[in-house]
A and B are shown apart, each in its own frame.
Chain A
């Protein structure tokens, strides 16, 4: 049983194109996230969605737009792709245990290569 799934797993595209990455979780969690892991392996949070509301947007270009049709899904749409967008994008979800002690469960990642 897949807890957090992402599609596609690999995405190769040309500069200037628009692409989407889909994420679904079947854990019943109330918060979902998007992270970017660049070539130096640094993992940075991009967005956090709690009950379909955007909570965090960490200085991400507005070419990136998260869309959450329901609590189980958080998709990432990217307009006008640039070379620097090449990275691994991870979706994650979490459920509050107590206060801030949320355990995050990550999807397998989407490897995006912009040519």
Chain B
């Protein structure tokens, strides 16, 4: 089993749609969790960290379920500019010196 797994995608959704991405991780000792986005031929950029209580940043909501080792990202009212690959990232240590990236889920928001 891979350390971090994500929905295979791609997701093609119309503008304004709500879309949810799922991620599971295998290491129950994992300490910190993130969502990054990567545009085509660009570097990954942090979208948001994922805290135990769940957190929201504008149209983006992230949830963490440690018992199920599951992370989610919800995007509401999707925009054309949300088109990108979304990467689930898990840090298995408590020092942030090792990060495991999921394979990514590609999102295309269509006009």
Chain A contacts to B: CB under 8 angstroms = 31, 33, 35, 40-45, 48, 50, 55-56, 58, 90, 94, 96, 99-109
Contact = CB atoms under 8 A, between A and B. Distances in A.
A31 B96 contact: yes
Contacts of A43: 44, 87, 101, 104
Given A42-B103, A108-B43, A101 B97 contact: no
A84 B13 CA distance: 35
Given A99-B31, A99-B32, A100-B31, A56 B98 contact: yes
A8 to B, nearest CB: 15
Interface in B76-111: 85, 87, 91, 93-101, 103-104
Interface string B33-61: 01000000011111001000000000000
Contacts of A99: 31-32, 94-96
Give the interface size class of chain B.
20 to 34
Contacts, number: 67
B96 to A, nearest CB: 3
Given A43-B44, A99-B32, A104 B85 contact: no
A41 B97 contact: no
A102 B49 CA distance: 9
